[in-house]
Structure 1
Amino acid sequence: MGDGAAHPAGRPVVTTPTQPLPRRITPANVLVTPLVLLAALGALFWYLSGLELDDIERRSINADTILTHLWEHVELVAVSSVLVIVIAVPLGVLLTRPALRLVTPPLLGLANIGQAIPSIGILVLLAVTVGIGFDKAVLALVALAMLPVLRNTMIGVSTVDKSLIDAARGMGLTRTTVLLRVELPLAVPVILAGVRIALILNVSSATLATYTNAGGLGTLIATGVTLNRLPVLITGSVLTAVLALTVDWLAGLAEAALRPRGI
């Protein structure tokens, strides 16, 4: 029977996918990205090994210095991303409840304004008003990455099929139970997509944390620009790109693994 054929009244229409659901995690999406990243790091090492580095360059891009800045960068991204998830996901859920829908537009507008402000602008504003340091950089990163998670949480929860919610309520489940067992699990793919975007935003924006004395790979980039040292600049830029792609790869694997079956 074709798609346009009529169905008897009262009989449920059962549809089947014309193609099988894609595999969640395949050898290709597990292996290709790491191999590309290893090739990029190998190319960087080959480039640096063929140069005669001066004292400033050797001090800036030796193994200990690079690992220190890399760890600072990872700390900035990890702490700010956890705070974004802890704040944005519950807030996004609350804003989908009927009692709070009146305040949803102004809060979303505020979040949009926060993301529209350039990263360096927020960092400078915080540096002028509350000082510099690791915690101030984290606050700026949270403000910059809040919107994708907040918006995707609201979209994911609010677009759950109402018939599923009504069916769960008809079985005697409370609103909280329906939220935890029906709405949130079905919203997971959309929420995780927002988290993935926020992670990449944090990795890229954290390069500016060096201007608030918070360290990170941005220190290498700033040193390369300020002192006109191209090897230092290239090293900082390549490592930042590799870290961003690594985080995106890991987030993609987590997104595929945590996606509820059948979605």
Structure 2
Amino acid sequence: MSFAEYLRQNGSDVLEALKIHVQLSSLSILIAVLIAIPTGIILTRHDRAAKAVLAVAGIIQTIPGLVMLGMGLMLFGLGSKPAVIVLVAYAILPIIQNTYTGIKEIDILYIEAARGIGMSQSQILFKVEIPLGLPAIVAGIRLSVVYIISWATLAALIGAGGLGDLIWTGLSSYDTNMILAGAIPASILSIIAGLVIDLIHRAVTPKPMRIKGDA
């Protein structure tokens, strides 16, 4: 059977797997963003804590995905819950790091100027630090999104479903069409997500000022 014929016969199953994969990845990224960005901001005010938190997050990143999923399975059982917990743990580090770095590397002159015109600390955060650090934050989110879409294929091993179901079932049954039906949409999804976030990154990145008379 050709791959095109396989898709004609099983297109609805592939679309359902894609839907689950998108939901699993989106939920994991959303939770990671809600945790990581505030944490990264808080860490910019506490350098000692930042070193410890980033070190722990870095250690988590070095643990193989299958090991983390196995731990999630033992602690939380089968299904999407352990998969989301593991994916969130993996997604957090790049966002925390980029949030922390993006804000810490802002030129102190901007902060001093904001204080000089009477801005409060919260005003400085929301009107100066976050806007200037946003390109770095978005870059961290992009990295996490691409990683999570790929790592979510492993979640099928603990019953979370998604495109990984097709890949792992295809591998176990030596069904090339099934493997491709899972791998190709996952790759395309990752590429599209990366391109969309690249556009967002360009939109939030400050443009250099043009001086009249410059070539």
TM-score by length of 1: 0.76
C-alpha distance in 2 between matches for 1:236 and 1:63: 11
Cα distance per residue 1:88-116 (max 9 Å; x no partner): 0000000001xx22211111111001111
The offset of 1:238, in angstroms, is 1.2
C-alpha distance in 2 between matches for 1:195 and 1:261: 21
C-alpha distance in 2 between matches for 1:262 and 1:93: 26
C-alpha distance in 2 between matches for 1:63 and 1:171: 61
| Counterpart contact for 1:168–1:178, Cα < 8 Å | yes
The reply to whether residue 88 of structure 1 matches residue 88 of structure 2 is: no
The offset of 1:220, in angstroms, is 0.6
C-alpha distance in 1 between matches for 2:208 and 2:163: 40
| Counterpart contact for 2:99–2:133, Cα < 8 Å | yes
User: What is the aligned partner in structure 2 of residue 48 from structure 1?
Assistant: 3
| Counterpart contact for 1:188–1:260, Cα < 8 Å | no
Summarize the alignment of residues 141-156 of structure 1 with structure 2, pairs less than 5 Å apart: 141-156=87-102
| Counterpart contact for 2:14–2:181, Cα < 8 Å | no
Runs (4 or more) in structure 1 with deviation over 2 Å come to: 257-263
Identity between Structure 1 and Structure 2 (%): 34
The reply to whether residue 248 of structure 1 matches residue 194 of structure 2 is: yes
The offset of 1:261, in angstroms, is 4.5
The offset of 1:235, in angstroms, is 2.0
User: What is the aligned partner in structure 1 of residue 213 from structure 2?
Assistant: none
The offset of 1:259, in angstroms, is 2.8
User: What is the aligned partner in structure 2 of residue 64 from structure 1?
Assistant: 12
Alignment size in residue pairs: 208
User: What is the aligned partner in structure 1 of residue 22 from structure 2?
Assistant: 74
Question: SS at 2:160's partner residue?
Answer: coil
Q: Which AA in structure 2 matches 1:193? A: A
| Counterpart contact for 1:95–1:104, Cα < 8 Å | yes
Q: Which AA in structure 1 matches 2:10? A: N
Q: Which AA in structure 2 matches 1:167? A: A
Question: SS at 1:62's partner residue?
Answer: helix
The offset of 1:239, in angstroms, is 1.4
The offset of 1:174, in angstroms, is 0.6
Summarize the alignment of residues 128-139 of structure 1 with structure 2, pairs less than 5 Å apart: 128-139=74-85
User: What is the aligned partner in structure 2 of residue 206 from structure 1?
Assistant: 152
Cα distance per residue 1:119-151 (max 9 Å; x no partner): 111111010122121121111000011110000
Summarize the alignment of residues 98-117 of structure 1 with structure 2, pairs less than 5 Å apart: 100-117=46-63
Query: Which segment drifts farther, 232-241 or 197-206?
Result: 232-241
Q: Which has the higher helix share?
A: 2
TM-score by length of 2: 0.92
| Counterpart contact for 1:220–1:236, Cα < 8 Å | yes
Question: SS at 2:78's partner residue?
Answer: coil
Gaps of 5+ in 1: 1-46
The reply to whether residue 188 of structure 1 matches residue 143 of structure 2 is: no
C-alpha distance in 2 between matches for 1:177 and 1:196: 27
